[in-house]
Amino acid sequence: MATIFIDGEAGTTGLQIREKLADASGITLASLAPEARKDPEAKRKLYGEVEVVILCLPDEAAKEAAKLIDEMGDKAPRVIDASSAHRVADGWTYGMPELIAGHEQAVAVARKVTNPGCHATGAIALLRPLTDAGLLPKDAPVSIASVSGYSGGGKAMIEAYETGKAPAFELYALGLEHKHMPEIQRQSGLTIRPIFVPSVGNFRQGMLVSVPLHLDHLPGKPKLADVKAVYDAHYAGRKHFRVFGSAENARLEPEALNGTNDIEIHVFANETRRQAVLVARFDNLGKGASGAAVQNLMLMLGR
């Protein structure tokens, strides 16, 4: 029996993690009374009584919690941080088991795991296999577009959409300094910082991340089948990944995988025009947040 504490269980990600773990065999969920949730001593005491702490906190609070855990030395619990506070920090294992061959074992034995961001999950899932295979040069100039449901935007955005005050669709982070960019560049294998344009739509959850490519500007001038083959090889045997390739006109909507921890990789190409677009579809609250945290937790518990 493993005891888990979700620090920040009242937030969107924390609530979903708690829901996913509620009926999990061999897991007990610990809690703090609401009045004690910001009390460092109460936290420290509970941290010492559990096997794993999952941080679902704002970045600064997550840093404070991680410091408390570090100060506990060999009595410290293992930790998964679902915030963006430690995604490029030294000493933390990036919590994307499918990143490279064998990385799931690195997650399984890690003391400190940092959950990927939702936009970053899709971007890295599309880019890392191509840079590792040499199909996409590491110094290639890359553009990434992403649309997410509003549930990933925090309490203010959720309230704005659910009370009808928000627009149907909006681009944001147009200063090109989105907080997911450092992890995207580090984990994608790119040496040139991509241009990233995120957006949010008037739907609660779901996500599409896309990357356009000029095929004749890539080494070997690959065809659709060549690109798909890289993904087929990289994600072979990965239960949460499915790969599709098509030269047909198609449409993708973002909500198809809601409620799952699955992710689809789509390769669309116009062979005549020698252009392609790569798309990752998944649930921004599933594989992009709570689902990924639970997947990492199960690896850490040897399940």
Active-site residue (options: 113, 118, 125, 279): 118
Which uninterrupted H or E stretch holds 171? strand 169-171
Catalytic annotation present for 56 = no
Write down how long the chain is.
Answer: 303
Residue 21 Cα to chain centre, angstroms? 19
Q: What is the signed CA dihedral for 149, 277, 144, 104, rounded to 10 degrees? A: 80
Instruction: Give backbone dihedrals phi and psi of 88, rounded to 5 degrees, phi first.
Output: -125, 20
What helix, strand, coil percent values describe the chain, rounded to 5? Answer: 35, 25, 40
Are 110 and 162 in contact by the 8 Å Cβ rule? The answer is no
How far is it, in rounded angstroms, from Cα 93 to Cα 266?
A: 27
Alpha-carbon span 236 to 35, nearest angstrom: 47
Question: 69: left (phi > 0), else alpha (psi -120 to 50), else beta?
Answer: alpha
Sheet with 241-246, strands from edge to edge, namely: 169-171, 195-201, 143-149, 207-214, 275-282, 263-270, 241-246
Helix (H, G, I), strand (E, B), or coil: what is residue 212?
A: strand
Query: Who's near 218: CB < 8 A, 6+ residues apart?
Result: 135, 136, 137, 140
Burial class (CB in 10 A: 0-12, 13-18, 19+), 249: exposed
Strand partners, 181: none
Asked if residue 296 lies in contact with residue 97, where contact means CB atoms within 8 angstroms, the answer is yes
Catalytic residues: 118
